């Protein structure tokens, strides 16, 4: 990792991990779109993720992308489990890269949280009645045959063949992600999905070598990390997203996360993305017990960074550029990720650059936009507020412009 700060705010100081350099440390966090059919991305993803690259982010994650069709939460989830998906993602990564950002993918498998409707239908389980609308339910897989919510559909407890098959799916999906042009890959180990279902003693009741002790419960996560690292080239970074603590009544905390992160580091993981929540006693409802205050997960990032020496990502309600910059300056994180803040303002990096006093914020944008926006600034300099202006209404007629009213009136 490079740290060349000088007078430049750290948020806008380029950063290199392995052979990949991001122009700044603003990350567009993974965001599921529920806009795919049979895993395939389309126009929605191109525009939605493209706008974050256009707005100046250093790294643009697309969405959690299932390594296996069974590892999708819904029929509309993105996936990369067929070779036909590769060119569709290639179109998106080419576009993101052409805008100066690093394209990144989050690979995942939802495990027992499969076969649902999307969030607009409250994630209700699919039933046989949905099959008529081409939305056939399927059985999820998990560490143990426990439902995600009381009374919910039972997943199959994975046997050793299922685990081998699943690792093969991770391997093949990683290769496809590489072929699709992604530079950064993140393993989704958080939010109550399959990897987390193996980690947590609430969801993992196995008595074989994939359960029991912390080592046993970490085994699947570490095997996924090894599998992906074996495919992901040495010059490209591999990240891992953790739930640093789980939901209400959870028994997984920061000490367990530290043990996991150290083991991941030994397997070549380059950064830990610090999230939280997902598995809760009595049902995996809301994601997290952590109060949603600005930087609510930044303390986990700080702790993990200090204790493991790994670069970390702080995410969660970070909206203020000065807050983001302080988190970096004070050594709590190496990257700042935003999700909803970018949905609200895809040009957040540009606005943050202005706020932090960068010399030429507009240089963050594509020259097509930069050139026009420089004109806008130029106009403001040419005609400062209050100056005497006449607006022509004809070859001979000038009407004075009134600044307060914002209009030239003939009267």
Ligand X SMILES: Cc1cc2nc3c(=O)[nH]c(=O)nc-3n(C[C@H](O)[C@H](O)[C@H](O)COP(=O)(O)O)c2cc1C
Per-residue x/- marks for ligand X, 261-300, CB under 6 A?
Answer: --------------x-------------------------
User: Interaction with ligand X in 13-32: which residues (CB under 6 A)?
Assistant: 29-32
Residue 241 found at the interface with ligand X (CB under 6 A) = yes
By C-beta, is 264 or 339 nearer to ligand X?
Answer: 339
CA angle, residues 16, 19, 20, in degrees to nearest 5 = 55
Site for ligand X in 91-150 (CB under 6 A): 106
Distance CA 350, CA 56 (A): 6
Q: CA 170 to CA 326: how far, in whole Å?
A: 37
Q: What minimum distance in Å lies between the beta carbon of 388 and ligand X?
A: 46
Q: Which is nearer to ligand X, 57 or 362 (CB)?
A: 57
Query: Which residues does the annotation mark as catalytic?
Result: 193
Given the rule CB under 6 A, which of 128-136, 163-171, 224-232, 335-343 is the region that contacts ligand X?
335-343
Residues touching ligand X, count (CB under 6 A): 19
Please name every residue paired with 272 in a beta bridge, in sequence order, or none if there are none. Answer: 240, 312
Nearer to ligand X, 256 or 273 (CB): 273
- Among 317, 328, 350, 352, interactor with ligand X by CB under 6 A: 317
Q: Which helix (H) or strand (E) holds 355?
A: helix 348-355
Which window, 156-164, 167-175, 188-196, 252-260, contacts ligand X (CB under 6 A)? Answer: 188-196
Helix (H, G, I), strand (E, B) or coil at 290: coil
Tell the smallest beta-carbon distance from residue 343 to ligand X (Å): 7
Taking the least distance from each CB to ligand X, the nearer of 159 and 344 is 344
Crossing angle, helix 160-179 and helix 85-98, to 10 degrees?
Answer: 50
Candidate residues 338, 350, 353, 358; the one interacting with ligand X per rule CB under 6 A: 338
Segment interacting with ligand X (CB under 6 A) among 160-168, 243-251, 312-320, 370-378:
312-320
**What is the b/e burial string over 155-172, where b = at least 16 CB atoms within 10 angstroms of the residue's CB?**
bebbeeeebeebbebbbb
Q: For ligand X, what does the binding mask look like between residues 146 and 175, x meaning CB under 6 A? A: ------------------------------
**Residue 10 burial by Cβ neighbours in a 10 Å radius (0-12, 13-18, 19+):** buried
Q: Nearest CA to 147 among 208, 189, 197?
A: 197
Q: Are 188 and 31 in contact (CB under 8 A)?
A: no
| Dist CA 207 CA 215 (whole Å) | 12
Q: Is 266 exposed, middle or buried (0-12, 13-18, 19+ CB in 10 A)?
A: exposed
Minimum distance of ligand X from residue 392's CB (angstroms) = 48
Beta-strand pair 20-22/15-17:
antiparallel
Q: Would you give the DSSP letter of residue 126?
A: P
Alpha-carbon distance 263 to 218, whole Å? 9
How many CB atoms neighbour CB 97 within 10 A?
16
User: Is 77 one of the binding residues for ligand X (CB under 6 A)?
Assistant: no
Distance CA 170, CA 240 (A): 14
Q: Does 188 bind ligand X (CB under 6 A)?
A: yes
11: contact with ligand X by CB under 6 A:
no
Minimum CB separation from ligand X for residue 57, in Å? 12
Please check whether residue 112 is in contact with residue 203, taking contact to mean a CB–CB distance below 8 angstroms.
yes
Of the pair 11, 339, the CB lying nearest ligand X is at: 339
Among 23, 25, 60, 63, binds ligand X (CB under 6 A): 63
Whichever of 59 and 362 has its CB closer to ligand X, that residue is 59
- Measured from the CB atom, is 176 or 196 closer to ligand X? 196
Residues that bind ligand X (CB under 6 A): 29-32, 63-64, 106, 188, 190-191, 241, 275, 315-317, 338-341
């Amino acid at each position: 990792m490079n740290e060349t700060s000088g007078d430049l705010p750290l948020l806008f100081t380029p950063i290199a991990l392995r052979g990949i350099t991001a122009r700044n440390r603003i990350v567009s966090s993974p965001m599921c779109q529920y806009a795919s059919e049979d895993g395939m991305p389309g126009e929605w993803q191109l525009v939605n993720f493209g706008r974050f690259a256009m707005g100046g982010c250093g790294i643009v994650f697309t969405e959690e992308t299932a390594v296996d069709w069974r590892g999708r939460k819904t029929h509309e989830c993105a996936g990369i489990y067929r070779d036909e998906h590769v060119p569709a993602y290639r179109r998106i990564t080419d576009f993101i890269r052409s805008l100066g950002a690093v394209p990144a993918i989050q690979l995942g498998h939802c495990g027992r949280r499969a076969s649902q409707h999307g969030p607009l239908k409250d994630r209700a389980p699919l039933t046989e009645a949905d099959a008529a609308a081409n939305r056939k339910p399927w059985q999820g897989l998990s560490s143990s045959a426990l439902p995600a919510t009381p009374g919910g559909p039972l997943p199959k407890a994975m046997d050793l063949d299922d685990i081998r098959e699943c690792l093969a799916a991770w391997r093949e999906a990683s290769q496809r992600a590489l072929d699709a042009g992604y530079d950064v890959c993140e393993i989704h180990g958080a939010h109550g999905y399959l990897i987390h279902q193996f980690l947590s003693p609430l969801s993992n009741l196995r008595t074989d070598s994939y359960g029991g002790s912390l080592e046993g419960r970490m085994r699947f996560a570490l095997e996924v990390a090894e599998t992906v690292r074996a495919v992901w080239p040495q010059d490209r970074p591999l990240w891992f997203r953790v739930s640093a603590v789980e939901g209400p009544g959870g028994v997984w905390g920061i000490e367990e996360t530290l043990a996991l992160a150290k083991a991941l580091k030994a397997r070549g993981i380059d950064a830990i993305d610090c999230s939280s929540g997902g598995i809760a006693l009595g049902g995996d409802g809301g994601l997290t017990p952590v109060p949603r205050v600005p930087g609510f997960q930044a303390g986990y990032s700080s702790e993990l960074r200090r204790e493991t020496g790994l670069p970390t990502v702080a995410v969660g309600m970070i909206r203020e550029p000065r807050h983001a910059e302080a988190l970096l300056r004070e050594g709590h994180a190496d990257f700042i990720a935003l999700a909803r803040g970018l949905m609200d303002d895809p040009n957040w990096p540009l606005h943050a650059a202005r706020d932090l006093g960068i010399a030429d914020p507009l240089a963050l944008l594509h020259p097509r936009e930069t050139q026009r926006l420089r004109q806008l600034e130029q106009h403001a300099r040419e005609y400062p507020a209050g100056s005497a202006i006449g607006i022509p209404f004809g070859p001979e007629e000038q009407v004075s412009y009134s600044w307060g009213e914002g209009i030239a009136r003939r009267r």
